[in-house]
Amino acid sequence: MKTVVLHGSPRRGRNSDTLVEHLLRGLTESGVQEVTHFYLNELEIRPCQGCLSCAEPPHDCVIGDDMTAIYGAYRDADLVVWATPMYWGYLTAQMKTVQDRMEALAWSGFGGKVFAVIVTYRHHCESAVAMFERICPYFDIELHTMVCRTYDPETGRDIPIEELPGKLEEAYRLGRKLSK
Ligand SMILES: Cc1cc2nc3c(=O)[nH]c(=O)nc-3n(C[C@H](O)[C@H](O)[C@H](O)COP(=O)(O)O)c2cc1C
């Protein structure tokens, strides 16, 4: 199974990345898997310009930047992991920029995949989850979602992901499930 991981957090190795790590442990445990990581914050990816050149065959984006590598890896992938914190009620800007640029694939090659969506958040995650739930049936995508609240409203404290072993286990189990 070919897997692409889109890391949407600028905080490398923190909450959403750690959940991905555990998901991949479950995914790869029973055999070698090809996994390609994209740390979006470290890439040069310009926002979609809305030119709709991609609507015409061959449906390529006219912007030449690091998104080209993501298009190639995405096309080949069976499983796409979207891991993002909530930022002001939605995906991080890094993740939203990639999502907008996926417009070029929406004309051909976006669908028929398995998505694993991991969303970390303090207060609300519904808008990000709802977006994936809306688009996936349309594109014939099998969706698996895992959300993780990293905040204690009683104390007002951010909870480091290491203090949420149940969630790490949940991510691992999701990886196991996706490997079958
Ligand atoms: C700029 C910024 C905006 C945020 N906005 C939200 C938000 O709108 N809703 C929410 O529930 N959490 C919000 N958070 C909290 C993060 O989603 C949360 O801390 C998450 O676990 C961070 O994940 P990470 O460690 O992978 O970066 C925000 C955090 C930052 C830094």
Percent of the residues in the chain that have a pLDDT greater than 70, as a whole number? 100
Question: How many A from CA of 98 to the centre of ligand 1?
Answer: 18
- CA–centroid distance, residue 30 to ligand 1 (Å): 33
pLDDT tens by residue, 120-135: 999 999 999 999 999 9
Torsion of CA 62, 98, 37, 23, to 10 degrees: -150
Does the pLDDT value for residue 32 go beyond 80?
A: no
The pLDDT confidence band at residue 30, using thresholds 50, 70 and 90, is confident
Q: Which atom of ligand 1 is nearest to the CA of 11?
A: 27
Q: Cα(176)–Cα(180) distance, rounded to whole angstroms?
A: 7
One CATH from 3.30.980.10, 3.40.50.10140, 3.30.70.20, 3.40.50.360 for 2-179: 3.40.50.360
- What are the structural domain ranges in the chain? 2-179
Helix/strand/coil (H/E/C) assignment for every residue in 131-154: HHHHHHHHCCCEEEEEEEECEECC
What is the position in ligand 1's atom list of the atom closest to the CA of 86?
A: 17
Q: How far is CA 168 from the centre of its chain?
A: 17
> How many helices and strands (H and E) does the chain possess?
6, 7
Q: What is the pLDDT of residues 42-77, one digit of tens each?
A: 999 999 999 999 999 999 999 999 999 999 999 999
* Banded model confidence at residue 85, pLDDT cuts 50, 70, 90: very high
One-letter amino acid for residue 148 of the chain: C
Please report, in angstroms and rounded to a whole number, the separation of the first and last CA atoms in the chain. Answer: 10
Contacts for 38 with CB less than 8 Å, ≥ 6 apart? 4, 5, 6, 7, 69, 70, 73
